[in-house]
Structure 1
Amino acid sequence: MDRGVDARCFGAEDRRRDRGGARPGGRACCGRSGNVSTCGVPFRGAGRPRTLLLFALGIGLVVRLARVARDPLVHPDGPAYLDLATALARGELMPVLGGYFSPLYPAAVSIVAATGLGLELAGRLTAVLAGVALLPLVYSVARRLLGESAAGATVLVAAVQPALVKSSAQVLPETLAGTLLAGWLLVLRTERDGRPATAGMLAGATYLARPEGVMLVPLGLWRFRRRPRGALLYLAAALLVMAPALVAL
């Protein structure tokens, strides 16, 4: 064996094999031989969580599109959101920002409808896209809180959970708001320099999707209560995103 390679590592591996055990973790031992790094290959199970996530995304998209294909009834609030999307397409901004209904979902619908799709179908597909985008966020949050195995199970359940599938085919903003909320929560669980600003923007965007999203502002301030600069940055980012709707009230 080369002098630079950690012989104890390989000896431990041999002893585990003799006992019928396996080394935990995703990689074999690493060492150095001269100037060359020597590492084992990943274990077979290392890619399983990613495979589960991809499967959940695929099945989640299929069941949501199948729900749309059934042409379910439009929620009583749906036509109002579609009217706002039409107003945005005509360039009427202030009635949308200052109206009773939140403006972000109609704005997203108007963008999808600009591709030539019918307005109702554009509204449903906007919800479908938001519902599918929610799945990797759910997976990431669950992985940070509960670990890989629980995250895989959670995202599979979320992909086919009837209430989530149903809401992802409705002409309503709840799925979009839920996706933004999950993104906000995920950002708060990360450790990055831009975290307060990103979380603040997501809080503001959630408010633009559903008025209840305004509660994320004080919750985020509490999260950054020991970081005055971070709290100020969070508040400024949230207010900046919310400003158009607040000014139009």
Structure 2
Amino acid sequence: MKFSKIETQGITSLVFSLATLPKDPADLSKTLANDETLGADAVLFLTPTLAADVCLHSYDKRGEKCLSHEILHALAAYLFYVAGLPVYEYEAETEEGILPVRITAGISPTFTAKYGKCKQTATNIPFRAKNIEATVDEVRCHRTQYAILFAEHAESVDLPALARALRTAPACGAETVVALSEFSDASGSAYLLRAASLRGDTVFPSAAAGAALMSLIAKGRERYGRDVTFRHEGGSLVCRMEHGGTFTVRADARLLLRGELTPPTPEPNE
């Protein structure tokens, strides 16, 4: 099995192009993603389809199906760097329908994906725990509930302490906390974004940025159809929200390595 390891926004993906899907892709993905030598946040299996340019099957480290802009960016990067396809817009068949991915030329190519929906579910939820007292907005994005905290300096926010505080806040049902602060950028609106999962799960920066942008729009600080830059620990991305909550993310990606491996043989039952 030949594979490519691709990194985008701090999220690493193992990409396999196969004639058919493995017998147990979920279990295989869990094994591969948690392998000490491979180490990945997601595993992508690409198979042929008549409905689009490629069929995408993607799983997280727990062997559960997952989909994000980072995974779609990894797909586009594979098409460009490994498959050698030209700059163009391609379509991927996924369990959530046909989704577009676009490759754009430049000094370094960028990859754009349009996917998902965000919805504001609550605003100004107060909470207090130890030395933390604040209010957060809640936004649901990609099946995950986000708590958005606006801070003067997001880099100084104690995210672990904030996550612990939110876990005990009865009015807050968030699974991921996002700290956000504005900074000056020549390209226009720009924000520093930091995020942490309350359960210790992998946080996909694009979804956190989408949730943050929806909250900014609800507060009247941003508007639909406008590019907004978010910087985070894994890099930077440009996000644009459309009416209805669907959003587009543009970012870069890197091909880290290519290799070949033998699928692990399951141990016989005792």
Mark yes or no: TM-score above 0.5: no
Task: Using structure 2 for the length normalisation, give the TM-score.
Answer: 0.22
Determine which structure has greater relative contact order: mean sequence separation of CA pairs < 8 Å that are 6+ residues apart, divided by chain length.
2
Task: Using structure 1 for the length normalisation, give the TM-score.
Answer: 0.24
Higher helix share: 1
Higher Rg of the two aligned structures: 1
